[in-house]
C-alpha cells in the first residue's frame, strides 16, 4: 500500500514576506521617530503645514525647558519609585500565589482563581471611588504607598494568571525527587521552580512595570500633590485650556519612553520567550 505525501500549500514568496515585514516595522517605528524628531523642532516648525520632516537647525531647547523649567525630573523620580515598588510587590505576591494555585488542591480553588481574574475585568471607573475612600481612611492619599498598593492591585491578577500557567508546565517529578532528597516546599520553589521560570518571571516584571509606568487615571485621582505626581500627569500639565506646548510634550515623551525601551531591549529575548511559552503551556 503506497502513500503519497500531501501536497504542500504554496507559500508567499520570500521577497514579499520581507517587504511586508519592513512595512510593518516602519509603521510601528514611525510614531517614535516622529516623536523624537518633533522634540528637536522649534514651535514654528511644529505648526508648519505641510510638516517639516527635518528641522532646519535641530534644537535642544525643548529638553532644557522640560528638565530645568518644569517638575518633570521630580515626576520621573516619583514614577520610578512607584513603578519599582509596585512591580516588586506584585511579583513577590504573584510568585507565592501562583505556586499555590499550580501545586496545591484545596477547597474553593476554582472559585478563588475566578475571583482573582474578576479583578482584571472590572472597569477602572467602577473601582476608583471605593479605592479612594479606602486610601483616605488609611491616610494613603498623596503618598507613595497609596499608589504602590493601587498599582499592585491593578497588575496582580494577570501576573498570577501568567505565572500559574508557567508553573503548571514544570514537571512535578523534579520537585518530588527534591522532596525525597529532603528539600522543603520553599526549597523546591526557590531552587527548582524559579530558576526554570525566569522567562515567565521576566514577562510579569515587564508587564507590571510598563502598566504602572504608563498609568494615568489612578495617578490623576490619588496623587494631586506635586510631591507624588507621576510622569503621565506631568505630560498633561503641558496642555492648558488655550494652548499645548507640543515641543515640551514630545521632549517629555522621549524621556518617559527611555526606561521602557531600555527595559524591553535588555530583556527582549526572555520576555518574548516567556510570553510565547506561557501562551502555549497555559
Of 155, 132, 135, the closest CA to residue 145 belongs to 135
Give residue 178's pLDDT: 87
| Chunked mean pLDDT (size 10), the chain, 282 residues | 55 80 89 90 84 85 90 94 95 92 83 77 84 93 94 90 88 87 86 87 90 92 90 87 85 91 78 53 49
Rounded distance, CA 20 to CA 125, Å?
Answer: 39
Give residue 3's pLDDT: 53
Give residue 241's pLDDT: 74
Helix residue ranges per DSSP H, 39-171? 43-46, 61-68, 72-103, 109-121, 124-138, 144-168
Extents of the domains making up the chain:
17-58, 69-270
Per residue in 207-234, pLDDT (tens digit) is 999 999 999 999 999 998 889 999 999 8
What topology is assigned to 69-270 in CATH? MetI-like fold (1.10.3720)
Rounded distance, CA 230 to CA 76, Å?
Answer: 7
C-beta atoms surrounding 204 within 10 Å? 28
Give residue 256's pLDDT: 92
C-alpha cell at position 227: 510631591
Give residue 272's pLDDT: 61
Give residue 11's pLDDT: 64
Give residue 211's pLDDT: 92
Amino acid at each position: 500500500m503506497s502513500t503519497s505525501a500531501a501536497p504542500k500549500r504554496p507559500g508567499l514568496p520570500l521577497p514579499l514576506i520581507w517587504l511586508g515585514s519592513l512595512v510593518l516595522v516602519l509603521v510601528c517605528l514611525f510614531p517614535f521617530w516622529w516623536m523624537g524628531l518633533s522634540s528637536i523642532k522649534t514651535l514654528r516648525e511644529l505648526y508648519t503645514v505641510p510638516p517639516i520632516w527635518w528641522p532646519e537647525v535641530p534644537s535642544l531647547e525643548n529638553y532644557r525647558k522640560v528638565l530645568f523649567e518644569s517638575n518633570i525630573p521630580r515626576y520621573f523620580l516619583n514614577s520610578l519609585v512607584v513603578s519599582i515598588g509596585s512591580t516588586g510587590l506584585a511579583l513577590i505576591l504573584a510568585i507565592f500565589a501562583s505556586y499555590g494555585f499550580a501545586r496545591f488542591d484545596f477547597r474553593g480553588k476554582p472559585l478563588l482563581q475566578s475571583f482573582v481574574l474578576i479583578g482584571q475585568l472590572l472597569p477602572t471607573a467602577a473601582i476608583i471611588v471605593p479605592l479612594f475612600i479606602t486610601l483616605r481612611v488609611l491616610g494613603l492619599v498623596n503618598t507613595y504607598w497609596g499608589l504602590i498598593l493601587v498599582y499592585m492591585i491593578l497588575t496582580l491578577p494577570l501576573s498570577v494568571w501568567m505565572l500559574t500557567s508557567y508553573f503548571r508546565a514544570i514537571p512535578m517529578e523534579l520537585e518530588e525527587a527534591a522532596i525525597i532528597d529532603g528539600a522543603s516546599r520553599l526549597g523546591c520553589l526557590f531552587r527548582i521552580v524559579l530558576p526554570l521560570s525566569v522567562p515567565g518571571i521576566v514577562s510579569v516584571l515587564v508587564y507590571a512595570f510598563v502598566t504602572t509606568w504608563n498609568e494615568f487615571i489612578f495617578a490623576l485621582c490619588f496623587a494631586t500633590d506635586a510631591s507624588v505626581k507621576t510622569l503621565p500627569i506631568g505630560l498633561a500639565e503641558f496642555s492648558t485650556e488655550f494652548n499645548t506646548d507640543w515641543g515640551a510634550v514630545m521632549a517629555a515623551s522621549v524621556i518617559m519612553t527611555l526606561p521602557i525601551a531600555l527595559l524591553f531591549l535588555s530583556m527582549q529575548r526572555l520576555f518574548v520567550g516567556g510570553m510565547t511559552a506561557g501562551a502555549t503551556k497555559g
